[in-house]
Amino acid sequence: MIIGFDDTDSKTAGMCTTYLGALMVEEIPLPADQVTPYLLRLNPNVRFKTRGNAAVSLRFELGRKETDEMWRICCDLLEEFAVFDDENTNPGIVFLSEEQASGLRGELEAFSLRAVRDFITIDETKKFLKKHNIKHRGYKNGRGLIGALAAASFAFNGLIDWTYEFIAYRKPENWEEKRSLDEETVWTADTASYPRTWDTVDHQNNQIVFSPHGPDPVLFGIRGSDQSAIKDAFTIVRSEPIDRYLMYTTNQGTDMHITKTNIADAKEGRSYKIGGRVTAPPHTIRGGHVIFTVEDGSERVDCAAYEPTKNFRDLIRRLAVGDLVTVYGAFMDRTVNLEKIRIDSLRPRMVVRNPRCGCGKRMKSAGKNQGYRCKKCRTKSDLPEIVETDPGITVGVYETPPVARRHLAKPLIRCNSEKKNIYPSR
């Protein structure tokens, strides 16, 4: 059986849908290794969303009678812990039996992919659930049913690509307190487990990034490709008492949200990979955001490295008109919000300057359209000197630093297998 749920938390009042997942897992009368918890990140550009737009599902096998009992327990837990008084919290919970899901494999797959890449309405979701007679409960406007069904669908069909996140939770009496972590041990844990874990710390920006801020149950989350490396890292970290923890299988760090398009066909709120030529050079606007323009033969589009992407902007500033690039990111307000960039080719950087005279001195301009003249020996020249300079970047793939990484964005460290010219940010 599969239980999926979403939209139980609140931006302001704390709680976290993954915490509810951990509570439910403890109620399932099975050994821990017989339950697979999934943490699914859905379209990050959805306006009404929970923090990070995450939904959770649990897959396990129980007898008929115990199954009915588990459904009741899960609904009770959701009703006890969901933040109902936040107007933006609209929980949903879905129950899928293996038998039922088997008959709907294709529809479920299409639904879950659309929830990551596109937009799905509450109405459409309710119709789908009704039509296929899928057990569910939607609370308030029922928006959480979208993520609940998407998460349940992924748990049934499996993920084409996945990573893990091990989440450690705080004791409820500490939720309002400042998090207590021995920072030194966090850096040590990163050193011991990178690159099989990532985004624990950000070296370039000298920051710990695996721990949220604000009043919620999450103490920290360790992301990685290898469960044993993650557990090793966990044993190194010293912190305030840990209440419980759970290893989630997740679509984080997979680029599942990205599809290829040309600029003319790009639709607002989706995330894309777009290849093109730089047609307007990078410039920094108010707030420290860096913008440049790319054209692909169908249309042109602005691309932005926003201020929070920190050192990534230094790289973007070195692009020049004529460079060929492939940009990756969300298409919002007709601007690509850069998550990654592949520099495919660099146009030679030519600098025009006054020529050097045979006597060694740099010539001066002799006046408009008058060429150049040496002040020392009076030698004249009609032609300036044209030299190629170092662009300060090389062809290759670059990414935003861990401190600015979106949950779904695939870290370059995961792409390191055989390709060259990959520059993971750490």
Between 305 and 374, whose beta carbon lies closer to Zn ion? Answer: 374
Window of 51-59, 68-76, 188-196, 377-385 that interacts with Zn ion by CB under 5 A: 377-385
Q: Which of 58, 167, 316, 357 is close enough to bind Zn ion by CB under 5 A?
A: 357
Residue 362, interface with Zn ion (CB under 5 A)?
Answer: no
Sole residue written with tokens 């859905």: 42
Minimum CB separation of residue 375 from Zn ion in Å reads: 8
Window of 175-183, 210-218, 283-291, 361-369 that interacts with Zn ion by CB under 5 A: 361-369
Q: Tokens at residue 347, please? A: 């146009």
Q: Tokens at residue 253, please? A: 């760090």
Between 122 and 366, whose beta carbon lies closer to Zn ion? Answer: 366
Minimum CB separation of residue 360 from Zn ion in Å reads: 7
- Give the CA distances from residue 166 to residues 40, 236, 404, in Å, rounded to whole numbers and listed in that order: 14, 14, 20
Window of 49-57, 169-177, 358-366, 387-395 that interacts with Zn ion by CB under 5 A: 358-366
Between 264 and 359, whose beta carbon lies closer to Zn ion? Answer: 359
For residue 402, what is the DSSP state?
A: G
Minimum CB separation of residue 381 from Zn ion in Å reads: 10
Q: Which of 105, 334, 376, 419 is close enough to bind Zn ion by CB under 5 A?
A: 376
Q: Tokens at residue 68, please? A: 């009915």
Window of 129-137, 157-165, 185-193, 357-365 that interacts with Zn ion by CB under 5 A: 357-365
**In terms of C-beta density within 10 A (0-12 exposed, 13-18 middle, 19 or more buried), how is residue 54 classed?**
buried
Q: Which of 116, 230, 246, 374 is close enough to bind Zn ion by CB under 5 A?
A: 374
Q: Where are the beta strands (DSSP E) in 53-130?
A: 54-59, 92-96
Window of 90-98, 150-158, 190-198, 378-386 that interacts with Zn ion by CB under 5 A: 378-386
Applying CB under 5 A, what is the total number of residues that bind Zn ion?
A: 7
Q: Tokens at residue 359, please? A: 């006597």
**In terms of C-beta density within 10 A (0-12 exposed, 13-18 middle, 19 or more buried), how is residue 97 classed?**
middle
User: Crossing angle of helices 17-27/64-81, nearest 10°?
Assistant: 140
Between 334 and 376, whose beta carbon lies closer to Zn ion? Answer: 376
Give me the residues paired with residue 291 across strands: 283, 304
Q: Count CB atoms within 10 A of the CB of residue 13.
A: 14
**In terms of C-beta density within 10 A (0-12 exposed, 13-18 middle, 19 or more buried), how is residue 231 classed?**
middle
CA distance 317 to 320: 8
Residue 377, interface with Zn ion (CB under 5 A)?
Answer: yes
Minimum CB separation of residue 372 from Zn ion in Å reads: 10
Residue 364, interface with Zn ion (CB under 5 A)?
Answer: no
Minimum CB separation of residue 366 from Zn ion in Å reads: 13
Window of 23-31, 210-218, 224-232, 371-379 that interacts with Zn ion by CB under 5 A: 371-379
Binding site for Zn ion (CB under 5 A): 357, 359, 361, 374, 376-377, 379
